[in-house]
Amino acid sequence: MTQDREPPPLRHVREYFRALEQAPGDERLASFFVSDVAQREFPNRLLENGAQRGLSEMLEGNRRGQKVVQNQRYIIQNALVDGERVAVELCWTAELKVPLGKLAAGATLTAHCGVFFRFRDGRIAEQHNFDCFESF
């Protein structure tokens, strides 16, 4: 299926990941979400206890992340759409601006992710991340 024939929620997810690659400001990033969005990041190597965030925490996390990584890439490998729900399998890479574990600044950090979205009114209302980071 070509991207122009994809269901609108999947097109929205692709646009969201493209925007993240461009290090968007708060206004651009917020435009992808309903105001009461709920994001849950399940425990991983960076967040041992995981996290639950609303929009303001998501925007703050994006600002913090831009201080740590650059040149982010989101490669969607598989996607499923069921009405207002989208599930994607993707590979995320980013160049570190600072050392992390055994990786030096300038090294590439990689994670294989499952990200699940629920939409409302054409925008993301829920996002659940399952991120599996490669060694660092």
Contacts of 30 (CB under 8 A, 6+ apart): 55, 59
Find the mean pLDDT for residues 23-48.
96
Residue 1 has pLDDT above 90, yes or no: no
- Give me the pLDDT at residue 61, please: 95
In angstroms, rounded to a whole number, what is the distance separating the alpha carbons of residues 126 and 103?
32
Residue 2 has pLDDT above 70, yes or no: no
Q: Name the CATH code of domain 3-133 (choices 3.10.450.50, 3.20.20.10, 3.40.50.970, 2.102.10.10).
A: 3.10.450.50
Contact between residue 117 and residue 126 where contact means Cβ atoms under 8 Å apart? yes
- Give the confidence band of 11 by pLDDT, cuts at 50, 70, 90: very high
Nearest to 35 by CA among 51, 15, 55, 52: 55
Q: Where are the domains of the chain?
A: 3-133
Contact between residue 115 and residue 20 where contact means Cβ atoms under 8 Å apart? no
SS3 97: coil
- Give me the pLDDT at residue 135, please: 81
- Global model pTM greater than 0.75: yes
How many helices (DSSP H) and strands (DSSP E) are in the chain?
A: 3, 6
- Give me the pLDDT at residue 136, please: 83
Strand 69-82 and strand 85-96: pairing? antiparallel
Q: Which token pair is 126? A: 């829920």
Contact between residue 91 and residue 112 where contact means Cβ atoms under 8 Å apart? yes
Q: What is the pLDDT of residues 27-37, one digit of tens each?
A: 999 999 999 99
Q: Supply φ then ψ for residue 68, to 5 degrees.
A: -105, -35
Q: What is the pLDDT of residues 69-120, one digit of tens each?
A: 999 999 999 999 999 999 999 999 999 999 999 999 999 999 999 999 999 9
